[in-house]
Amino acid sequence: MPAALTVDGLSVDFDGFKAVNTVSMIVEEGELRVLLGANGAGKTTLMDLISGKTKSTAGRVFLYDADITNKEEHEIALYGVGRKFQIPSVFKDLTVRRNLEVVSCRNTSVLSNLGFGFSREEEKRVDEVLELVGLTGQASMVAANLSHGQIQWLELGMLMVQNAKVLLLDEPTAGMTQAETLKTSEIINALKGKHTLLVVEHDMAFVREIAERITVMHLGQVLAEGNVSEIEQNPKVREAYLGSRAIR
């Protein structure tokens, strides 16, 4: 079986500035890959290229056998790529459950989205996701009344009920309390093996909780790949980011 996500020589040139420069990366099915690097290293731009928000100037992107290079965002989403941005996007006037029901509905008709014809299987999946993201007790709450962390978990749940094959998570713990960050690590660890995840994150304690394999980017290129220990000991990474310290 081909890898879940293959990035082959991907580049984007903004008026002579290569924000992403010939990046290649293979993420296997069910793998959780963390992208590390300083601001401006190209991490979010790489996510933009994979998801179709930005068009590449060179290279290819494959989701399993499908070439999704430079397709429109909605087309790439239909192929099975789900994107969670740093600033969450939910339907704040709807309840938590209704948010999940709306995005899980395969039928785009008005009646279906009003709740008619919603299958028992879809309801069961919504219940499973509510439990996984810890929002069962808030299912009837309007999303606008959730805490910051709960809104982040709801958006993650919205990707899950859509059964996205690959989840792109951009700083999923941004603005969270320590307790919320710990809960987020538990949720993401529960997704390992069920979804393929590519996570951009700066919180090193969080990275230690979730990381299987890390790709370090620097000036738009891949600087190193490996597990936490290998990245800590990599001389190129130490020179660029860590100095004499380990990842903390």
**Does 53 reside within a domain?**
yes
Residue 27 — very low, low, confident or very high, per pLDDT cuts 50/70/90?
very high
| CATH number, residue 170 | 3.40.50.300
Q: pLDDT digits over 181-201, tens only?
A: 999 999 999 998 889 999 998
Instruction: Give DSSP secondary structure letters for the chain.
Output: ---SEEEEEEEEEETTEEEEEEEEEEE-TT-EEEEE--TTSSHHHHHHHHHTSS--SEEEEEETTEE-TT--HHHHHHHTEEEE-SS----TTSBHHHHHHHHH-S--SHHHHTTTT--HHHHHHHHHHHHHTT-GGGTTSBGGGS-HHHHHHHHHHHHHHTT-SEEEEESTTTT--HHHHHHHHHHHHHHBTTBEEEEE---HHHHHHH-SEEEEEETTEEEEEE-HHHHHH-HHHIIIIITTPPP-
Question: Is the pTM for the entire model greater than 0.85?
Answer: yes
**Does 247 reside within a domain?**
no
Q: pLDDT digits over 89-132, tens only?
A: 889 999 999 999 988 865 544 444 555 456 788 889 999 999 99
**Does 129 reside within a domain?**
yes
**Does 157 reside within a domain?**
yes
Average pLDDT over residues 193-222: 91
Q: How many domains does the chain have?
A: 1
**Does 54 reside within a domain?**
yes
**Does 248 reside within a domain?**
no
Q: pLDDT digits over 121-170, tens only?
A: 888 999 999 999 999 999 999 999 999 999 999 999 998 998 889 999 99
pLDDT of res. 132: 92
**Does 24 reside within a domain?**
yes
pLDDT of res. 115: 52
Residue 203 — very low, low, confident or very high, per pLDDT cuts 50/70/90?
confident
**Does 211 reside within a domain?**
yes
Q: Which domain holds residue 126?
A: 5-242
